[in-house]
């Protein structure tokens, strides 16, 4: 796992969730702990697609597909061509 990708994933997550700070988020943070609603989840997905220039597979645009921040970063790393 590239630390750069994980750092960017966390940075985007914090920018979309005004009630959390990067100090409390790491790769092992469970998304359910962040109390993300469905609208925020879609905004976050779109932000990742824009930042990393790829599209999530349709079967991955569900909250349960990503239990932790690290799981999102690993998925992005598998798709990212940059």
List all residues 6 or more positions away from 47 whose beta carbon is below 8 Å from its beta carbon: 12, 15, 16
Domains and CATH numbers, the chain: 3-79 (1.10.1200.10)
**Packed helices 69-79 and 38-52: angle between N→C axes, nearest 10 degrees:** 40
Closest of 16, 5, 17, 13 to residue 76, by C-alpha: 5
* pTM > 0.85: yes or no: yes
Whole-number pLDDT of residue 1: 60
Phi and psi, residue 68, nearest 5°: -130, 165
- Band of residue 20 on the pLDDT scale cut at 50, 70, 90: confident
Query: pLDDT digits over 21-39, tens only?
Result: 878 899 999 999 999 999 9
């Amino acid at each position: 796992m590239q630390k750069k990708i994980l750092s960017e994933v966390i940075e985007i997550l914090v920018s979309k969730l005004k009630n959390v700070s990067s100090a409390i988020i790491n790769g092992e943070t469970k998304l359910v702990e962040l109390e993300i609603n469905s609208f925020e989840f879609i905004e976050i997905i779109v932000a990742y697609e824009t930042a990393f220039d790829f599209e999530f597979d349709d079967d991955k645009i569900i909250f349960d597909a990503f239990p932790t921040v690290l799981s999102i970063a690993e998925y992005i790393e598998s798709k990212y061509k940059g």
